[in-house]
């Protein structure tokens, strides 16, 4: 099929567009914020495959679907994770760092986990039709290499990268949507017939990894924004890469089904997670008002307080801009602390 043959090119373009938004300095955050980055990598690269494997032990499913779940768990963060982290007011810089590291590491992690899954659930190795080394090379060519090319352009020609990214980013989202739609169409019957079998595993995997990631960040007393980034990075996987591995490298369309199902589930849970975060912020704001706290205190000493247009949404302090729903500002007037 023509679309299946174009899938590697489409995935490579998606990863290239992602690379244009990354910078080599993103890796320095590993040194500056080792706990947050370390936890994020642990959640996505170690905990996610372990939880997937544990769920497959609890909910036995067809071997092809089980391998598909492990393929999905081996994939790096999705192309929309940085954008959704920004919308959720998470630590976008941390999200970008995790995306960069896991995307480059994918050429190693994906073949290793896929080889383990093939041996565990299908009683065979991938060496017969596709050696692990050859798989690593192909994943590198369509996933890691395009990211590196994009990062190099960003490093040596930032203005060019910025200009190209304006077009490449939305186009990559369109290509990703087309890949998922094609996968949906080609596997719709299989997915519907086996939703009761696949659905519980995929939903549980997504909800658990997001909840555990966010919970561990709280236990380690990381800032809330970092916990949000870790949860979203763990929950949003690169479904396009999962589809590519199943359809093109392993030549088993049934193995695409978990990635297709997950692509739908992860966007729903991400929306619910953002809604929950907004509700939490609203409750915390009302609670602060009831305790007599007032945002005027957030202004630095000597600053002038100016009221701006209402946005009718409770917002946390961002720089020197605050919004109050307390007292005379109950309608959501934006307050700006203007430094002298």
Sheet containing strand 333-338, strands side by side: 304-310, 333-338, 321-323
CATH number of the domain to which 110 belongs: 1.20.1530.20
Q: Looking at the structure, do residues 193 and 324 belong to the same domain, yes or no?
A: no
Determine which of 35-44, 159-168, 288-297 has the lowest per-residue pLDDT on average: 288-297
pLDDT score of 226: 93
pLDDT score of 186: 74
**Banded model confidence at residue 333, pLDDT cuts 50, 70, 90:** very low
Is 321 among the domain residues? yes
The stretch 175-185 carries a mean pLDDT of: 79
Is 289 among the domain residues? no
pLDDT score of 299: 44
Q: Looking at the structure, do residues 187 and 316 belong to the same domain, yes or no?
A: no
Helices (H), the chain: 2-20, 29-32, 34-41, 48-58, 63-74, 81-87, 92-121, 132-139, 145-156, 158-193, 195-219, 224-235, 239-244, 257-290
Q: Looking at the structure, do residues 248 and 326 belong to the same domain, yes or no?
A: no
Domain containing 101 equals 2-282
Average pLDDT, whole number, for the chain? 78
Three-state SS string over 166-193 comes to HHHHHHHHHHHHHHHHHHHHHHHHHHHH
Q: Looking at the structure, do residues 206 and 311 belong to the same domain, yes or no?
A: no
Count the domains in the chain.
Answer: 2
pLDDT score of 325: 39
Tens of pLDDT, residues 298-308: 444 444 444 44
The stretch 159-188 carries a mean pLDDT of: 83
pLDDT score of 336: 44
The stretch 157-172 carries a mean pLDDT of: 89
Residue 318 β-bridge partners: 321
pLDDT at 13 over 80: yes
Is 311 among the domain residues? yes
pLDDT at 256 over 50: yes
Tokens of 162: 């910025």
Is 22 among the domain residues? yes
The stretch 260-286 carries a mean pLDDT of: 85
pLDDT at 208 over 70: yes
Looking at 257, 282, 307, which one is the last position of a domain?
282
**Banded model confidence at residue 125, pLDDT cuts 50, 70, 90:** low
Is 301 among the domain residues? yes
User: What percent of the chain lies above the pLDDT cut of 90?
Assistant: 28
pLDDT at 288 over 80: no
Highest mean pLDDT among 224-228, 238-242, 332-336: 224-228
- For residues 18 and 172, the answer to whether their CB atoms sit within 8 Å is yes
pLDDT at 30 over 50: yes
Q: Looking at the structure, do residues 88 and 180 belong to the same domain, yes or no?
A: yes
The structure's pTM equals 0.73
Dist CA 335 CA 323 (whole Å): 5
Q: Looking at the structure, do residues 237 and 271 belong to the same domain, yes or no?
A: yes
Q: Looking at the structure, do residues 227 and 318 belong to the same domain, yes or no?
A: no
User: 3-state class of 254 per DSSP?
Assistant: helix
pLDDT at 286 over 80: no
pLDDT score of 219: 96
DSSP string, 211-244: HHHHHHHHHTT--HHHHHHHHHHHH-B-HHHHHH
pLDDT score of 244: 87
pLDDT score of 4: 57
């Amino acid at each position: 099929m023509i679309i299946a043959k174009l899938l590697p090119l489409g995935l490579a373009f998606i990863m290239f567009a992602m690379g244009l938004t990354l910078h080599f300095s993103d890796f320095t955050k590993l040194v500056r914020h080792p706990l947050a980055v370390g936890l994020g990598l642990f959640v996505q690269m170690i905990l996610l495959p372990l939880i997937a494997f544990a769920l497959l032990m609890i909910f036995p499913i067809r071997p092809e679907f089980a391998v598909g779940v492990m393929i999905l768990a081996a994939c790096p963060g999705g192309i929309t994770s940085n954008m959704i982290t920004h919308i959720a007011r998470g630590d976008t810089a941390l999200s970008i760092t995790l995306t960069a590291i896991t995307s480059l590491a994918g050429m190693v992690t994906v073949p290793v986990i896929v080889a383990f899954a093939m041996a565990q659930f299908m009683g065979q190795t991938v060496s017969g039709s596709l050696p692990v080394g050859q798989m690593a090379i192909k994943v590198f060519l369509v996933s890691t290499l395009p990211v590196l090319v994009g990062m190099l352009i960003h490093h040596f020609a930032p203005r060019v990268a910025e200009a190209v990214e304006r077009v490449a980013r939305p186009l990559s989202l369109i290509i990703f949507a087309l890949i998922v739609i094609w996968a949906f169409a080609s596997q719709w019957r299989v997915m519907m017939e086996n939703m009761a079998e696949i659905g519980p595993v995929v939903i549980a995997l997504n909800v658990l990894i997001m909840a555990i990631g966010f919970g561990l960040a709280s236990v380690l007393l990381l800032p809330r924004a970092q916990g949000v980034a870790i949860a979203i990075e763990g929950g949003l996987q690169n479904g396009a890469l999962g589809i590519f591995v199943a359809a093109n490298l392993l030549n088993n369309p049934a193995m695409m089904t978990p990635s297709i199902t997950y692509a739908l589930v992860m966007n729903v849970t991400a929306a619910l997670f953002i809604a929950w975060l907004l509700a939490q912020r609203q409750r915390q704001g009302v609670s602060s008002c009831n305790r007599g706290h007032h945002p005027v205190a957030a202004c630095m000493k000597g600053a002038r307080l100016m009221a701006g247009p209402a946005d009718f949404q409770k917002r946390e302090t961002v720089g020197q801009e605050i919004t109050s729903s307390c007292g005379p500002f109950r309608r959501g007037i934006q307050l700006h602390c203007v430094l002298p």
